[in-house]
Structure formats: C-alpha cells, structure tokens
Structure 1
C-alpha cells in the first residue's frame, strides 16, 4: 500500500470537525442501537425498522423518506443538502439480520438460546445485546449518530450528505419473501434515483478497504441408489451416496484452502466454506438416501469473474472424477455476486484513510486480508467509489455469555464504535466542505 496522500484540514475545517465530534453522544448512540435491535428485521421484512429510521432521521434534521419495495419491506433515505457545487456523499449500512430469530433457526444456529441470538435488545452497562446488534445495527446507529452530530454542529456543507439503510444486505436468498437478500435492497435504491458521487459503508474490522469480494454458491451432488438398512454391504445394485460424500467433503475442504491461496490478490483473500449437507428423510432412516447434496460458498476476488470461479469448480469436479471413478458426481452454481473495487488513489479512499490515521495517530499500512462480502461490492459495481471502514470486531470482554463463532452478531460494546464515528466524521467534513473541482469531479 502506498502512503496516504496528505491534505491537512484548514483551520476552519479543523474547527468544524472538532465541533461536530463534540456533538457525538455515546448515550444517544446506545439508545438508538437498543431501539433498532428491539425491532425485528429479518431479511425481506424490514419495513418496521426502516419506517422507524425515517421518523428518527426527520427528527434529527434530515429530509427523510421510507421507500417501500413491497408490503413487508423497503429502504430508508435521509438527506442534508449543502449550499451547492459540492459532491454527494452517502453513508450506508444494511439493516437486515442474517437469522430469523425464531424456532426455525434451531438447531442450525446452535442449541443454546444465547442473548445475542434473540430478536430483542438488552443493555448491560456499555453493552447492547440482541440479534444483529453488532452487525448490521451498530453500523446503522453509528452512521446516524454521525449525521445527527453533523447537523447539530451546523457545519456549513457545500456538498450533500445522504444517509441510507437498505434491506437485503445479508448474503442469503429468502425465496418466500421475493428472493430477498444478495444486495437486493441497495440495488433497488441505486436504480431509483439515489446517485451519490462517493459512499462510505461501515462494516466490521478496523481498517479502510477499497475493495471487497463477491461470492459464488454451489451445490455438489453425490449420487447413489435408494437403499434399505436391512441389506448387507456389497448387495448388487445398492450404492450409498452418504458414505462417499464424506470423502468428497474432505477433498472439497482442501480444495477450498488451495483456492483461497491461489486467488488472493490486492487486499482480498477469497475464502470458501462448506455450509451444509443434506440427504434422506429423518423419519425414514431405514432407507439410505439416493442423493447427498453438499452446499458451499466461495468468495470471488474483484479481479476474478464468477464465470472463472465456476470454471475452477468444474475443474475440481473433473479432477476428482478422474482420481475417483467410483464417485458419481454432478454440480451446479446457483448464486453469484461479482466483487467490486475502487482505485486506492480515489478521493474517498484517501479521505477515509486520512480520518483513520488522524484518530489512530499512526500510518494506515496494509490491512488484514479481507474475505467478507458486503453491499460495498454492489455500490462499486454501480460505479460509486466506496470506502469500507469499521471497528475492532468481535468485541471482547462481554459480561454476558454469547454464542461461539459469529453467533447472532449481536454483542456490541458501544465505546468501540466511537473512534470509528470520528474517523467517518473526518471523511464527511473533508469531502462535503469542498467544491467538486477540489474533489477531482466535473
């Protein structure tokens, strides 16, 4: 990574920045985060939370609008216009949760009813718990607090501030809700009049990223024949699909590790994981399944197309068939989202890095390699230069027991959010108090 381009604030900009940061209210942020967490918003059903946000934005001094996509869901946009002649900067976060928050999550999300898996907020000191309180609702609350503080500080903006939250940010596909997910909400937003010059998306990890991966979803089938538990092994005409699938899983796991290494470039390391295995009937265990399906997600580097990744999976299957002719395999790609990248020299990347360095008091350097996919890739595919910026995650030192792994992404230590808010505020002041010419725009 090249050093960040230095461009100090003028005395006026420094004064505006300090005044705006002084208005950032940790208590108000925590209360908003609790309120958002308390409004259940699974993918494809976020109407209530975004209608709440439209009202909140309006009271904070933004011109706001709830934009329905159907009767159950929609997006929200707030705007604070400047004097004119500047850029439009969008602060963006998704707002849908990755789990349903009901019995359908069990046992796949775990067997214990941890506080971070429940679609209800709980505050303990500086912590907020509940399904999605960290990702995505801490992001929505923090960006809203930045916008609120900016308005209260009465900073003389030249450009326009846009604050937006959308449905469908989770990498899921909920067929019963109009196939919600996979950046459907932000795509709806951007194709219906929201056209910023720059965007900042807040997501976990304490770095500034200029690019993010896409993803490919694959189904690999191991074929056999329908069997019966009462027959001995070696019975002519019976081929298990389940036992050979165990061998395929081990082969696939190693291929995914090699794939990530082979396709790493820039700041993206495109990991892949086996997500699930499906076969047979729980109510008919006497009849071994004729088919066992293996589902996996492969992340896609911005410099690699979904078609290329599809070809790599096809080659893996062909090689496996050649080495194991006893395996009867077929496969398909049933989901694909390209990655997206912004040139590191772009204004918004450099501005976000200046904000990061100002708060951290150290050079930004090379960030940890990234494998997480967000709506930032969609923003960039729409031609919007986008910086991703975040906070240390997951939070450490929780006084409450939370689910292992990613769990409900629902344990937030509010003081961790405040440095990120100041970094974003820096980029907002840096960008929206300048003319388009100063920003390199026409």
Structure 2
C-alpha cells in the first residue's frame, strides 16, 4: 500500500482539533452506551432505539429525525450544517444486534443464556459495559455520537456539513417475519431518501483503516436420498441415506472454502467462508431418516469478483464433486447475494482517516490485516459514496466478568479502548469539514 499523503493541519485546525478532543467525555460516552444497550434492538425491530437516538442527537445540537421503514423499525439521522461550500461527511454505524436475546438463540449460541454479554440489558462494571451488542454495534454508535457532541461543544467553525446516521439491517441476516430485515436494508433506505453525503466514515471493529470490504453469497447444498426407516437393513434396494453422504460432502466443501479464499484474495480482502449449519429430518421422528440433508453456508465476495462469478465457481465445484462421486445426488441454490464495495485508497476520506490513525498511533499505517468481515460500508460504496472504515482493537481483553466463548453476544466493551478511535475520527472530521470542496477534490 502507498504511504499516506501528508497534509499537516494549519495552526487553526490544530487548535480546533485539540479543543474538540478535549470535549470528548468518556463518562458521557459510557452512559450513552449503557442506555443503548438497555434498549433491545434485534434486526428488524429497532424503532425504540432509533427513536431514542433521534432524541439524543437533538439534545447534543444536531437537527435530527426518526425515519420509519415500517411500524416496527426505522433509522435515525442528524445533521449539523456548516457555513457552506464544503463537503457533507456522514459518520455511520448500524444499530441492530445479531441475536434475538431470547430463548430462540438457544442452543445455537453454544452457551447458557445467562452470560452477561448475551443479555439484552446493560451491566456496568467500572469502565466496562456489558450486554447484547454493547460492543458491536452499540459501542460504535455511542463513539460516533460522542465525536459529534464534542465537535459541536467545541464550536468548531465548520464549512461542510456533519451527518450522523444509525440504521437497521446492518447485520448479515434475512429476517423473513420482519419484512426480510437485514442485508443493509436500513442504510439503503436512508441513501434512497435524500441522505446524500459526499464522504462517509463507518466505524467497525479492528484497529485499521480499510478502503474496501467484501460482499457475501449465501448457498444451500442439498444431498438427496430417500425417506428411510430405522428398521430397514442397510443395502435394501430403494433406500438411500442423505445424512451419511452429507458428512463426506461437508469435508469436501470445507476444503473448497479454504481454497476459494486463497484463490480470490486481492487488495486488502481475503473472502473467507464458513459452513453455518446442517439441517435434516424431524427430532420428534428419529425412526425416519430424512430424504434430504441441507448444508448452508456464507462465502464472502471480494469487491473485484461479482456474485455471479462466485456462483459460477461454486457450480464448478459441484460439477467436479459429482464427476468424482457419481453416487451423490446433489442440488443447490444461491439464496443471498451482496456485492463487495471499494473506494480508491487515494481518495480524500481514506487518506484523511489514515492521517488521523497515524496521528494517534504515531507510526505509519502500513498494510492492514486482510479483511473478511462484511458491513454496510460495502453498500455505501456501491452507492458511489467514498467510504473509510475505521475501528478499535477488538475483542476487548481483560474482562472482569465471564463472557461467552467465540463471538458470543458481542457485548463486552472496555470504554477506554474506544477513545483513541474517537480521536482518530475527530481528526478526519476536522480535516474534512473545515475545507472547501475544491481542496477535497470535489466539484
């Protein structure tokens, strides 16, 4: 990756930056994070939390509104206009959680429901805030909001316009009984209805600046047999298991996913894929082996590879598998597809975010770790909005409370970890919004 383009602050900009950073209030950020964690917000049901956010935005000096999508959900957006002639910069994070926070999550989370990070309620222990989604996404929402509040309190003379937005549907999910919420539906709704920034910064985990992110493809692979009966001897004509052959298919698919990621790595994206689950039969009818076993998985899609190309790659895998194992009866479908998105690494907002990162880290940014995580940043870029992704070290280390293993509830936040990221974002905000459009490469 090319070195970051140096563009030092003027003395006035440096003064505004220092004044704004001095107004960042860790206790206020923590209280907002606790309040947000206390408002349950599963994908497709974020009306209450975004109505709260619209009110909070107004209280810190933004002109704000709740934007409903249906009776149960909607988005929040706030704006602080500058003097004119500058860019519009949007600070963005989704606000929905990846789990329902009720009995339907069990046993699939692999833990007991009483882990503190899985509860849809906040618990504060010193500088820690726990609860479902307190780290991802609610720490991001709280941090961006604190940046906006501190900027306004510091009375920085903005030329451009600051936009703060939070939306539903950021989780990679498709919740059918809530109008198919997910799949970046909230940010798409906002961008289709007049929220039109020149640049965007999305906050997500990992302490790097990224200029691109993958999309995703969802597939179902079906292994077919016949409906069986436990009392039938093996080898009886006309009876074929779907479950036992599926075990072989799973191992073949796992290797294909590993090879796929290596084959399709480019830029800063390594498009991993994981088998998410296997489904067959009736637990209440174990005497009758299922005629179909479904294997479903998500594979990430590099911005330089289309969903159609990935579909073709998987089709070739299935064709090769059939050729090597003609006894297998297979069919498949792609049931979800989201393209990746990229911004030129030389674009103003990416360079500005990297300058902010380097200012706080006191070292060159260099090449970030390869990325496989998908966010609404891909949708922003597909709408033609140059976007930088920036974050903080994640997951937090040293928790005094026991939290679920693995991804868990993404619900353990050490607030001091967020403050360097807030100062990096503040740098890019002042760098961008105190200049005219021509300086930013805009017409």
**Shorter-chain TM-score tier:** over 0.9
1:68 aligns with 2:49: no
Distance 2:84 2:411 in 1: 40
2:192 corresponds to? 191
User: Which residue pairs with 2:386 in the alignment?
Assistant: 385
User: After superposition, where does 1:4-403 map in structure 2 within 5 Å?
Assistant: 4-113=4-113, 114-403=115-404
- SS of the residue 1:34 aligns to: helix
Residue aligned with 1:391, SS: coil
Aligned mates of 1:307, 1:51 — CA distance in 2: 38
SS at match of 1:321: helix
Quote the residue 1:421 is aligned against: 422
Worse-superposed segment, 199-208 or 395-404: 395-404
**1:256 Cα deviation after fit:** 0.2
How far apart, CA to CA, are the structure 2 residues paired with 1:202 and 1:265?
22
Stretch of structure 1 that moved more, 229-238 or 358-367: 229-238
Quote the Cα distance in structure 2 between the aligned partners of 1:66 and 1:366.
39
Shift of 1:398: 0.6
Matched residue SS, 1:90: strand
C-alpha contact 2:111 2:404 (8 A) present in aligned 1? no
Q: Aligned residue pairs: how many?
A: 442
**Segment drifting more, 102-111 vs 49-58:** 102-111
Aligned mates of 1:409, 1:313 — CA distance in 2: 31
Deviation at 1:111, TM superposition (A): 3.2
- d(CA) in 1 for partners of 2:372, 2:136: 16
1:225-263: CA deviations, max 9, x gaps? 000001111111110000000000000000000000000
Deviations, residues 56-81 of structure 1 (Å, cap 9, x unaligned): 00010000000000010000000000
Q: State the alpha-carbon separation in 1 of the partners of residues 383 and 280 from structure 2.
A: 40
- Which digits, 9 at most, give the CA deviation of each residue in 1:388-432, with x for residues without a partner? 000000001111111111111000000000000000000000000
Give the Cα separation in 2 of the matches to 1:118 and 1:249.
Answer: 33
Distance 2:342 2:111 in 1: 39
Determine the structure 1 residue equivalent to 2:435. Answer: 434
DSSP-derived class of the 2:229 partner: coil
Which TM-score applies when normalising by structure 2? 1.00
Give the deviation of 1:212 after TM superposition.
0.1
Q: State how far apart, in whole Å, the 2-side matches of 1:393 and 1:133 are.
A: 12
8 Å CA contact 2:217–2:334 kept in 1: the answer is yes
Within 1, Cα distance between the matches of 2:110 and 2:58? 39
Distance in 1, Cα, partners of 2:30 & 2:367: 31
Task: Give the CA RMSD over aligned residues.
Answer: 0.4
Deviation track 1:71-128 (CA, whole Å, cap 9, x = no partner) reads 1000000000000000000000000001000000000012312111110000011100
Q: Which 5+ residue runs of structure 1 have no aligned equivalent?
A: none
Output the CA distance in 2 between the equivalents of 1:231 and 1:111: 37
- Distance across 2 between alignment mates of 1:414 and 1:156: 29
For 1:45 and 1:246, the matched residues in 2 are separated by: 37
Residues of 1 paired with 2:404 and 2:316: CA distance? Answer: 37
The Cα of 1:352 is off from its aligned counterpart by: 0.1
SS of structure 2 residue aligned to 1:438 = helix
Question: What is the alpha-carbon distance in structure 2 between the residues aligned to residue 437 and residue 316 of structure 1?
Answer: 50
Equivalent-residue separation in structure 2 for 1:164 and 1:318 (angstroms): 45
Secondary structure of the structure 2 residue equivalent to 1:315: helix
**Which structure 2 segments of 5+ residues have no match?**
none
Residue pair 2:209, 2:389 contacting (<8 A) in 1 also: yes
C-alpha offsets along residues 32-60 of structure 1, whole Å, 9 cap, x if unaligned? 00000000000000000000001100010
Cα drift, residue 27 of structure 1: 0.4
Q: Secondary structure at the match of 1:119?
A: coil
Q: For 1:21, what is the secondary structure of its paired residue? A: helix
* CA distance in structure 2 between the partners assigned to 1:360 and 1:62 by the alignment: 30
